[in-house]
């Protein structure tokens, strides 16, 4: 039986603007195991599903609210109410300085009609589709930049945990993996806030591999950058770091990010990437912008 999980990274974001409800519905139809929600609070404490604390690289905020930028010339989700945020048009990701689309071959920038939405709205979409289809697709929320939220006097984590609990996500059995890059915050979620959810420690920096044992004291899995799994190529064959085997020895699942068919870097094809990481390196799942391709690969 295939036990590896496919996580729709920001939805089916290779095909539709990231973190739109449309991208989530498409991912749902692709039979993924989990759909991801990155979470940032609005001014009035609504968790918004958006990748960054900024608005200006995925919306028309600079046109609609030109005078609301901060001194660093960025527009912050946290400076706008949910009502204001819902008036913005969401677009495929672009560079706010040059206006250039980040992934040129994806959904065309500024086309279509897309909006921002809350965590609650997305859970209701996924739970509604689960009921209508008989599927059991899970959610994979991420607490974004807890230090920034704390500095702004906001309790993102407490608000998110409360909403998750209201929608029936409280234990490891409830198809909800909660993720965070901030190790102190994820540990706090387990130890102080006493959450029984499946917790995934995201990893970004090479030296973090030394903290695996500590991660295992509170987390159920890790989400490394996939390059942390790769060592080097010897005679055209990838050698791996000890990260996956070390994590498995500690009982941690390994869900690396991000599998992109249009950003292959060291791989010759997306199939080679999937074969190398999912099969040869034996990771337990994948965050991907192209969920259909990973689902098809794993079903083979
Ligand atoms: Ca994320």
Query: What is the tens place of the pLDDT at every residue in 99-108?
Result: 999 999 999 9
Buried b or exposed e, range 112-131, using 16+ CB within 10 angstroms: eebebbbbebbbebbeebee
Residue with tokens 């958006």: 50
- Distance from the alpha carbon of residue 287 to the mean position of ligand 1, in angstroms: 9
Residue 206 has a pLDDT of: 87
- Distance from the alpha carbon of residue 285 to the mean position of ligand 1, in angstroms: 14
- Distance from the alpha carbon of residue 234 to the mean position of ligand 1, in angstroms: 32
Residue with tokens 């102190």: 184
Catalytically active residues are 9, 51
Surrounding residues of ion ligand 1, Cβ less than 5 A: 38, 142
- Distance from the alpha carbon of residue 179 to the mean position of ligand 1, in angstroms: 8
- Distance from the alpha carbon of residue 168 to the mean position of ligand 1, in angstroms: 22
Residues 168 and 96: their CA atoms lie apart, in Å, by: 38
- Distance from the alpha carbon of residue 187 to the mean position of ligand 1, in angstroms: 18
Six-digit token pair at 300?
């083979």
Residues 6 and 32: their CA atoms lie apart, in Å, by: 5
- Distance from the alpha carbon of residue 111 to the mean position of ligand 1, in angstroms: 24
Q: What is the mean pLDDT of residues 18-22?
A: 98
- Report pTM: 0.97
- Distance from the alpha carbon of residue 7 to the mean position of ligand 1, in angstroms: 10
pLDDT at 130 over 80: yes
Tens-digit pLDDT profile for residues 23-75: 999 999 999 999 999 999 999 999 999 999 999 999 999 999 999 999 999 99
∠ CA 51-271-129, rounded to 5°: 50
pLDDT at 1 over 70: no
Residue 263 has a pLDDT of: 97
Residues 282 and 36: their CA atoms lie apart, in Å, by: 22
**Which range among 73-77, 226-230, 234-238, 286-290 shows the weakest confidence by mean pLDDT?**
234-238
* DSSP-derived secondary structure for 73-139: S--BGGGS-HHHHTTSPB-S-B-TTT--BSSTTSSPTT-S-----BHHHHHHHHHHHHHHH----EE
Six-digit token pair at 55?
């608005």
Tens-digit pLDDT profile for residues 281-297: 999 999 999 999 999 99
Mean of all residue pLDDT scores within the chain:
97
Domains in the chain: ranges and CATH: 5-51+117-299 (3.20.20.190)
- Distance from the alpha carbon of residue 230 to the mean position of ligand 1, in angstroms: 21
Six-digit token pair at 208?
């973090």
Task: With cut-offs at 50, 70 and 90, classify the pLDDT of residue 2.
Answer: low
Six-digit token pair at 16?
């539709």
Going by C-alpha positions, the residue among 211, 214, 207 that lies closest to residue 228 is: 207
Helix intervals (H) in 140-278: 146-151, 156-166, 183-191, 212-216, 243-249, 270-274
- Distance from the alpha carbon of residue 244 to the mean position of ligand 1, in angstroms: 20
């Amino acid at each position: 039986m295939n036990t590896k999980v496919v996580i729709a990274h920001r939805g089916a974001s290779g095909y539709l603007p990231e973190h739109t409800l449309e991208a989530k519905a498409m991912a749902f139809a692709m039979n993924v195991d989990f759909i991801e929600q990155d979470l940032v609070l609005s001014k009035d404490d609504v968790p918004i599903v958006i990748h960054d604390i900024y608005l200006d690289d995925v919306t028309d905020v600079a046109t609609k609210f030109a005078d609301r930028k901060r001194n660093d010339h960025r527009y912050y989700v946290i400076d706008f109410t949910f009502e204001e945020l819902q008036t913005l048009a969401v677009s495929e990701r672009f560079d706010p300085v040059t206006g250039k689309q980040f992934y040129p071959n994806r959904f065309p920038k500024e086309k279509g009609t897309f909006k921002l939405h809350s965590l609650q709205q997305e859970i209701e979409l996924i739970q509604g589709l689960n009921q209508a289809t008989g599927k059991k697709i899970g959610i994979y929320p991420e607490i974004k930049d807890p230090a920034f939220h704390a500095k702004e006097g906001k309790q993102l984590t407490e608000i998110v945990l409360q909403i998750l609990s209201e929608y029936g996500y409280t234990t490891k059995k409830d198809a909800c993996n909660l993720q965070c890059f901030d190790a102190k915050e994820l540990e706090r979620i387990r130890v102080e806030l006493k959450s029984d959810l499946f917790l995934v420690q995201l990893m970004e920096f090479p030296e973090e591999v030394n903290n695996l044992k500590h991660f295992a004291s509170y987390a159920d899995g890790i989400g490394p950058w996939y390059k942390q799994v790769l060592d080097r190529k010897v005679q055209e064959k990838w050698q791996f770091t000890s990260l996956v085997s070390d994590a498995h020895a500690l009982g941690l699942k390994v869900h690396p990010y991000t599998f992109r068919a249009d950003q292959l870097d060291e791989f010759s094809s997306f199939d080679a990437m999937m074969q190398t990481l999912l099969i040869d390196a034996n990771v337990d799942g994948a965050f991907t912008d192209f969920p259909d391709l990973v689902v098809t690969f794993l079903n083979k």
